[in-house]
Amino acid sequence: MKRSIIRIDEEKCDGCGLCVTGCPEGALQVIDGKAKLVREDYCDGLGACIGDCPRDAIHVEERESLPYDEYSVMKNIAAQGEEALRLHLDHLEEHGEKELLSVAKRYMDEQGITIKQERKPSLRVMQPQGGGCPGSAARVIQPGTAGKNTQSGTKATVSAESRLRQWPVQLKLLNPAAPYFADCHLLVAADCVPFASGDFHDRYLKGKSVAMFCPKLDSGLEQYVYKLTEIFTGNTVHSVTVLTMEVPCCMGTLRVVQEALHRSGKDIPLHSITVGINGEEKPA
């Protein structure tokens, strides 16, 4: 049958394996240093792995292929645990795949599988005042109230004001309904950038809200796409700046943001900046 299915450009693929971890269906493997589609019947053609690829090596095409087998996929995913099931069901729901969801739920009913916690909890509910981790509670930092980092030496004292206007900063902990997203310019930065860029605060962070993550080491990038989509759709975001390192795997940061912007349907100006390991900006 002819259907949508992924195609991997082996010349671009560097074998990083991010697409494999981003495919809970189990359709992909890294073989001889290249990602391979090893189970066509496990690929739903929805392209969740595209956002994980730092080399732009994965695309969706229409071609003759084995039919997708949601029932067999569910067997494979169920063995990975509740979180993998939750991500897969959310993935199908976001793409409006009602027939596949029906097959997935039938498998779960037949096997007596239940997900204890609510799938896709409302991200727009703020952290409770009296519960949860205090370190992840949303806080707005007013301009001029942030502390200064001071280093004293024999000749001079140098002070640099923090430009951070919020807490937390890690995307996994951020709430899309936090007040600092209401009318903002958003900076999405890979985790390593502030360590490489000596003037990160004044050059990039000043006047912006920020979300940070690592596209290589963090799991659940599809949930990051979902959360950023919520931020874009539920708030007035005037611009998005994406900061990545020059290393190839870091480009997954940009892919996640681009997919979230696409899903939001909003035309928000996007600026991409690459920072070298020595801290210098790389030419566009």
Question: Which of the four pLDDT bands, split at 50, 70 and 90, describes residue 151?
Answer: low
Give dist(CA 104, CA 98) in Å, integer.
Answer: 10
Question: Which of the four pLDDT bands, split at 50, 70 and 90, describes residue 17?
Answer: confident
Question: Which of the four pLDDT bands, split at 50, 70 and 90, describes residue 125?
Answer: very low
Helix (H) / strand (E) containing 104:
helix 98-111
Domain 2-111: top CATH class: alpha beta
pLDDT in tens, 182-196: 999 999 999 999 999
Question: Which of the four pLDDT bands, split at 50, 70 and 90, describes residue 85?
Answer: confident
Cis previous bond, 168, omega within 30: yes
The pLDDT of residue 144 is 60
Q: Is the pLDDT of residue 137 over 90?
A: no
What's the mean pLDDT in 13-17?
Answer: 88
- Reading phi first (left if > 0) and then psi (alpha if -120 to 50, else beta), residue 144 is in left
| Higher-confidence position of 161 and 158 | 161
What are 13's two structure tokens?
Answer: 């693929």
Question: Which of the four pLDDT bands, split at 50, 70 and 90, describes residue 98?
Answer: confident
What are 112's two structure tokens?
Answer: 């007596």
What's the mean pLDDT in 253-271?
Answer: 93
Delimit the domains of the chain by residue range.
2-111, 167-275
Cβ atoms within 10 Å of 156's Cβ, excluding its own = 7
User: Three-state SS for 170?
Assistant: strand
The pLDDT of residue 129 is 38
The pLDDT of residue 80 is 81
User: Three-state SS for 221?
Assistant: helix
Question: Which of the four pLDDT bands, split at 50, 70 and 90, describes residue 121?
Answer: very low
What's the mean pLDDT in 48-56?
Answer: 77
| Residue 279 · residue 196 · CB < 8 Å | yes
Lowest mean pLDDT among 8-12, 84-88, 155-159: 155-159
| Residue 149 · residue 206 · CB < 8 Å | no
The pLDDT of residue 149 is 54
Kindly provide the residue ranges of all beta strands, DSSP E only, lying in the chain, ordered along the sequence: 2-8, 28-31, 34-37, 58-64, 139-140, 148-152, 157-161, 166-167, 183-190, 209-213, 236-245, 270-275
The topology (CATH level 3) of 167-275 is Rossmann fold (3.40.50)
Helix (H) / strand (E) containing 108:
helix 98-111
What are 275's two structure tokens?
Answer: 């920072």
pTM of the predicted protein model = 0.56
Q: Is the pLDDT of residue 123 over 50?
A: no
